[in-house]
Amino acid sequence: MNFVSGILKRANIQQIREFLNNGVDLSEISDASCEKRINDSWNTAKRIFLSRFSEESEELNEFLLAVSEYGDVYMEVGIKAGFQLAADFQSNRP
């Protein structure tokens, strides 16, 4: 049982998300909130895009959505919600 508890202590939702999405281990775990990670990703992509194009446009919005961390963050939220639902169902079983 120590083996399993050791795995659970090391488990991180970002690592689980990375494995489910990409099949690989995550080398760096971010301590930033989901909101901060999304905003940082958005701002970086916007800065890079605007350095190459002169003005904001619909194309900018499409680009930012394509390169942002939305998918990663929402996958993590979904995993957490799924675990919570499973725990709730398990605790309400007769």
- Residues 2-23: tens digit of each pLDDT: 655 665 566 677 777 777 777 7
**Interatomic CA distance for residues 48 and 57, integer angstroms:** 14
Q: pLDDT grade, residue 94 (50/70/90)?
A: low
pLDDT of residue 6: 62
Element (H, E) at 64: helix 58-67
Decide if 10 is inside a domain: yes
Residue 82 inside a domain? The answer is: yes
Count structural domains, the chain: 1
Per-residue pLDDT tens digits for 58-86: 877 777 677 666 677 777 888 888 888 88
Enter the pTM of the model: 0.48
Instruction: Answer yes or no: is 51 within a domain.
Output: yes
Q: Is 30 helix (H, G, I), strand (E, B) or coil?
A: coil
The pLDDT tens digits of the residues spanning 48-61 come to: 878 887 777 787 77
Within a domain: 28: no
| Residue 68 domain-assigned (yes or no) | yes
- List the one residue out of 84, 82, 77, 65 whose CA is nearest residue 33: 77
The domain containing residue 86 runs over which residues?
Answer: 2-23+33-91
